[in-house]
Structure 1
Amino acid sequence: MFRLVLLVCLAALHFLPAAAQDQPYLPYYSRDTAQVYQLAVAHRNAIKDHLVVPKTGSSEYRDHYRKIVKETSDEVFNSIRYSALLDPTVEPYVQQVFRRILAANPQLPATAKLVLSRNPQPNAHAVGTSTVMLNIGLLPRLENESQLAFILCHELAHVACRHMQTSMQEHLLAVHSKEMKREYRRILNSEYNISSQIKALALGFSLNSNYHHRRYERQADSLGYVLLSRTSYDASQAYRALELLDTIDQPETAGPLPLSAYFNCAEFPRTFAAAENKPKSIFTVKAAEKTVLETTDTLKSHPDCAKRMRFVRTLARDQVAAGPQAASTPEFARIRHISRLEVIQSWFDYDCYDHALFDALLLLPQQPQNSYLRSVVLLSLYELQQHLQGHTYNEVVSTISPRNSAPFNDLLRVLYDLRHDEFKGLSACFAQANEPGQADEYALAARYAAMALAAEPATAASLKAQLQKQYAGGRFEKLLFPVPPTKAGAARH
């Protein structure tokens, strides 16, 4: 009998990991912020300890230096305090990649640290003196772990080359140089075009700073490639990583959103079509010309990638991986999947409900049974309606812009065309075929949102009570059920 019980227990332990993997993933949330706060304080103190105000130079120079150190340390503190992601899955994974790079390159600063950020923008950057910030938004756009390793090596190269300190010193020396002060006094003493001359001086200073910044990028690519080649990762993926960065501002799916499939029904009988190209006038003699900024990659999140790719190809002696790569390992594929959901949640948590709605609708055709995605759609519609009703719609809906992708602009046109009472039909159409199916906090909150939009107060009140009882102090309590300020608190405010 004892042997039978033992065998049953062992079998249960064997199937536990598989069962855990089958559970749908929900974005990470914790009410305990002590660990994040301590991490932010540690990084702020590290910057202050390292960037010591020089004893030489004018008092004006040293005061400016002190001000920059304070602003930098505060910026790092706030960035980590309010965006660090310490989840139990993605964060340990990227930390493992980071440790492998450090182990293979012992010459790197021992103080170098990696912080995973909730920031949905696909980027990474080195801040302070030894901190590398990796945005969660970058992970879904990469194809394999070697590409991630190169990006981390690139940022570690910035740390090793002390680019931040060098850039800060160059900036201060230029601002407080005799030549700069002499030119500024000359402009002030001139009779005409003082404002234009000051703008030209500032523009020249900015362009010079950009030149130095791009020089640092080339140095970081060079050293980053060397650091990567010392690891067990595939160094040829450095080129492909830059290829991906060059097109990272474009959506992963180029086609239009199937809005009619989700939001067209008897309660909201409307067809959705992409905006048509404006017909050319018969009087048009010359096509509209784009500005210099629009014809270069200056406005890209990652400029100069084409030049950097040529440089890396030379370093690699043409041994590069170009074009789409083979499917990544199952482990990295899971990290990409989780990161996509974390990106959507980050957009939602940052009150960017248009982005959260867009990304959720973009993923739904690939994952039609994903209850989380359905919940985010309904919750985003609810929050959009609340802001429209509160006259703060422009704060949570982006401006239509040529810099946006065409499908995102199409969604924005729909959102700007909606009236307050139309959200009821819009959410009803979606909920008919896409009601969240899981019994979790998101699904319960989404059902409440749908009932609130449908003007069903009794059902909404029942769901509210259930949500507050079952998930007291949960993720949506303050968002969905904000406590109105007291008269004393309002007076103090």
Structure 2
Amino acid sequence: MKHFNFLIFLFAPMLFSQELTPIDTADFATRKMLVAEYKTAFEIFNDKINKKHKGRIKRELRDIYEFSQEEFIRTIEKREFILDARFTEYISTLSDKLNTKLNTNDVSDFKILVSRSNNPNAYCMPGDILVINIGLFRFFNNEEQLLSVICHELGHKQLRHPENTLLSKVTLNNSEALKARLRNIERKKVGQNDEAFALMKNILYSEGGKRRIEEQQADSLGYLLFRKMGLPNSSFLEALYLLKEFDSIPSIEIVQKDYETLFDLSEQPFKDQWLEVEDFSKYNYSFYKEKISADSLKTHPELEERILKLKKDFSELNNPLIPEPKIDTSSTFYKLKLVANQEVITNYIEKEDYGKGIYFNIARLIDEPKNDYLKKLLGQNFLLLYEAKKQYTFNKYVAYVTPEMEDESYIRYLSFLWNLNLDEMKNISDYYLQN
């Protein structure tokens, strides 16, 4: 299991003392306007697809695009994008900077939205849509690093990677070579499963390889755009180095004493069995053999590989990195960073990932045991779990413990949630809501 991004705790003590205003996602009128805007944009995009392609390929592309567009509209309606003026106005200023410096239609047509996702990531969608996760504000230290990610995604757009990837898949599905291979497999009397699996594996590996090449291409073009803006060359690499750290940050550790402190209540004493973890050694997994390499399926090359490729292609990036300047606490970026840090727990809950939300809630409360806001939030979050368990939807919001998990603290935490019964959850919720 990948470790979560735990840098949020570097800022935790200052967040609630500043009483930052929560992110506003309840503006129904703005969301309604946004939905109308994107529906119009999608109609124009789909019309271009219909004119550009023919026959079965056109029909399949149209069906896939329409489905993904409907899903995107639903994410807007479900308030997964941040429409808070502090973020939208800042993104607008970044777009203006990009337009002024790069002076290209590829930028002016780019629509940038901020997602509530805590992962430091971004993605480019067909139809000139860039989604920036709020996690990038938490994880980066300045605007230049954020712009490096935007330039990388602009690289994907200029190279038409999102559209080409989908077209390649649809073209392959309709190719005579693939159809002939499938007919041969169907005619076989023995070994059908092995043949079909080998075919699927080859397709997956091929697609993964293409996407890794596309990532490196977007890095190179993104860096050229970044350099054209007159931004410090080193900031582009700094962003990649920071993202590289994401997978190596040590995990939170919540120990038994912490659970006893938080959940030993006057009307419900702590129970040791709440922390019992299932013994997976009793199960025999030796019969299972890994047939598909996870490394071969990766669409993003390892960040170290991407950094080395950039240094090889651009000699100026081999210069020693300039020591990063002190964080400008007066900048708009820094102010949004604080807001993003404050919203970590809420973001998980808004995205209905209650398990992770409560985990962060507990960890922060351990550091700030007298924080009334965190206590009330814990009560509200346990109430959500209680309602889910009552409706038999608990597994929708809380992951199962699985043997491949590596983080002992998180395994203990998930076991704790699964071991609680309905009444015990309700008692915890009531205690923290009333105190």
Q: Which amino acid aligns with 1:148?
A: L
Secondary structure of the 1:421 match is helix
Over 3 Å counting, the alpha-carbon distance change for 1:174 and 1:96 in structure 2 is: same
Q: Which amino acid aligns with 1:406?
A: E
The corresponding residue for 2:34 is: 39
Paired with 1:182 and 1:279, the residues of 2 have a C-alpha distance of 44
Q: Deviations over 1:410-439 (max 9, x none)?
A: 21111112122323554577x4xxxxxxxx
Using structure 2 for the length normalisation, give the TM-score: 0.80
The corresponding residue for 1:435 is: none
The corresponding residue for 1:352 is: 353
Paired with 2:292 and 2:182, the residues of 1 have a C-alpha distance of 28
The corresponding residue for 1:97 is: 94
Q: How does 1:291-440 map to 2 (within 5 A)?
A: 296=295, 303-314=301-312, 315=314, 316-319=316-319, 321=321, 328-330=327-329, 331=331, 332-365=333-366, 370-401=371-402, 402-403=404-405, 405-423=407-425, 426-427=428-429, 431=432
- 2:49 corresponds to 1:53: yes
Over 3 Å counting, the alpha-carbon distance change for 1:180 and 1:297 in structure 2 is: closer
Q: Which amino acid aligns with 2:158?
A: A
Paired with 1:392 and 1:277, the residues of 2 have a C-alpha distance of 21
Does the 8 Å CA contact 1:54/1:62 hold for their aligned counterparts? yes
Name the stretch that deviates more: 117-126 or 22-31.
22-31
Paired with 2:353 and 2:225, the residues of 1 have a C-alpha distance of 37
Does the 8 Å CA contact 1:357/1:377 hold for their aligned counterparts? yes
Does the 8 Å CA contact 1:114/1:131 hold for their aligned counterparts? yes
Report the CA distance between 1:86 and its aligned residue.
0.5
Paired with 2:165 and 2:27, the residues of 1 have a C-alpha distance of 37
The corresponding residue for 2:70 is: 74
Paired with 2:294 and 2:277, the residues of 1 have a C-alpha distance of 23
Does the 8 Å CA contact 1:385/1:423 hold for their aligned counterparts? yes
Does the 8 Å CA contact 2:352/2:397 hold for their aligned counterparts? yes
Over 3 Å counting, the alpha-carbon distance change for 1:298 and 1:25 in structure 2 is: farther
Does the 8 Å CA contact 1:354/1:380 hold for their aligned counterparts? no
Paired with 1:184 and 1:294, the residues of 2 have a C-alpha distance of 23
The corresponding residue for 1:131 is: 129
- 2:45 corresponds to 1:86: no
Give the alignment partner of residue 165 of structure 1, picking from 163, 184, 189: 163
Paired with 1:77 and 1:184, the residues of 2 have a C-alpha distance of 36
Paired with 1:234 and 1:223, the residues of 2 have a C-alpha distance of 16
The corresponding residue for 2:6 is: none
Greater Rg, structure 1 or structure 2?
1
Over 3 Å counting, the alpha-carbon distance change for 1:105 and 1:43 in structure 2 is: same
Q: Which amino acid aligns with 1:385?
A: Y
Greater helix share, structure number: 2
Name the stretch that deviates more: 365-374 or 377-386.
365-374
Q: Which amino acid aligns with 1:65?
A: L
Over 3 Å counting, the alpha-carbon distance change for 1:56 and 1:351 in structure 2 is: closer
Over 3 Å counting, the alpha-carbon distance change for 1:274 and 1:394 in structure 2 is: closer
Paired with 1:140 and 1:349, the residues of 2 have a C-alpha distance of 17
Q: Which amino acid aligns with 2:210?
A: H
Q: Deviations over 1:144-165 (max 9, x none)?
A: 2222111111111111211122
Does the 8 Å CA contact 1:240/1:320 hold for their aligned counterparts? no
The corresponding residue for 2:7 is: none
Secondary structure of the 1:329 match is coil
Paired with 2:211 and 2:393, the residues of 1 have a C-alpha distance of 38
The corresponding residue for 1:470 is: none
Paired with 2:319 and 2:275, the residues of 1 have a C-alpha distance of 42
Over 3 Å counting, the alpha-carbon distance change for 1:317 and 1:368 in structure 2 is: same
The corresponding residue for 1:263 is: 263
Over 3 Å counting, the alpha-carbon distance change for 1:142 and 1:67 in structure 2 is: same
The corresponding residue for 1:465 is: none
Does the 8 Å CA contact 1:90/1:339 hold for their aligned counterparts? no
The corresponding residue for 2:4 is: none
Q: Which amino acid aligns with 1:102?
A: N
Paired with 1:407 and 1:333, the residues of 2 have a C-alpha distance of 31
Q: Which amino acid aligns with 2:173?
A: V
Over 3 Å counting, the alpha-carbon distance change for 1:302 and 1:161 in structure 2 is: closer
Name the stretch that deviates more: 353-362 or 56-65.
56-65
How many residues align? The count is: 406
Q: Which amino acid aligns with 2:93?
A: Q
Report the CA distance between 1:275 and its aligned residue.
8.2
Does the 8 Å CA contact 2:386/2:426 hold for their aligned counterparts? no
Does the 8 Å CA contact 1:104/1:230 hold for their aligned counterparts? yes
Report the CA distance between 1:352 and its aligned residue.
2.0
The corresponding residue for 2:150 is: 152
Paired with 1:256 and 1:310, the residues of 2 have a C-alpha distance of 37
Secondary structure of the 1:205 match is helix
Does the 8 Å CA contact 1:246/1:306 hold for their aligned counterparts? yes
Over 3 Å counting, the alpha-carbon distance change for 1:313 and 1:80 in structure 2 is: farther
Over 3 Å counting, the alpha-carbon distance change for 1:241 and 1:272 in structure 2 is: farther
Using structure 1 for the length normalisation, give the TM-score: 0.71
Does the 8 Å CA contact 2:118/2:135 hold for their aligned counterparts? yes
Which sections of structure 2, spanning at least 5 residues, go unmatched?
1-15
Over 3 Å counting, the alpha-carbon distance change for 1:403 and 1:141 in structure 2 is: farther
The corresponding residue for 2:243 is: 245
Does the 8 Å CA contact 1:378/1:427 hold for their aligned counterparts? yes
Q: Percent identity?
A: 21
